[in-house]
Chain A
Amino acid sequence: MEIDVKFFASLRERMGRTSDKVTLDQPAATVAVVWAKVSSEPMPSNILVAVNKEYTDLNQALKGGDEVAFFPPVTGG
């Protein structure tokens, strides 16, 4: 299944891209599997996760077409 990945703010600069597309073969793959596909480093502990624009965590199971976003803590308006 294909997953759309987005990065924001300082993490976007660190990753060197605003978005990515990953293909997962595993059934019931989680957000953690997506991170392992986009980075060889462990996810920094302060990074937040959203799936389909709702906050969640690394354990969430994904389905094809899901949008996964990684970003640093928000700094508000």
Chain B
Amino acid sequence: MKVVVQTDKLDPYQAITHHETTELESGKHGGVVSFVGTMRDFNDGEDVTAMNLDYYPGMTEKHIEQVCQEAMEGWDVMDVLVVHRAGDVYPSDPIVLVAVWSAHRAAAFDACRYVINYLKERAPFWKCEVTTEGKKHWVEHNSEDPGAAKSRLKSA
């Protein structure tokens, strides 16, 4: 299990390949399921040109590690990798990668969804958007209702 929060640009596909070749035993896993979140150029009807992602160094990583640990205990998976951007990001930049390796696909899909849903709901990140008019504003809440995410997960 590996969790990284970085201000450097993220190449999610290179990160998957690198982790798989350096951390996983060849031939043992049956697949990898990944979710890559990228930045949209719109939010709540406004055009967004840039975003700053604030986080709490130490607490944010610790929190994501706890969620990954829950996923490792909840499903039969071999490894979990999370890389999250912080700092200044721009439209189409990858912001988050969740990758899960397992012997069979069902566990990897479920664990990946668990990690990304809870990460978006509880991990200490704060978005500050810059609109085309140059206005800066802090996003007050996540666009996806956490309660809804939780109930979908339960019904899955």
Contact = CB atoms under 8 A, between A and B. Distances in A.
B87 interface: no
A70 to B, nearest CB: 11
Contact of B127 (A6, A69, A75): A75
In this complex, the interface size class of chain B, counting residues with CB under 8 Å from chain A, is 20 to 34
Contacts, number: 65
Given A9-B138, A10-B138, A75 B58 contact: no
Contact of A53 (B54, B62, B116, B140): B62
B125 A75 contact: yes
B126 A75 contact: yes
Interface string B85-97: 1000000000110
In this complex, the interface size class of chain A, counting residues with CB under 8 Å from chain B, is 10 to 19
B104 interface: no
A35 interface: no
Interface of A: 6, 8-10, 12, 50, 53-54, 69, 71-77
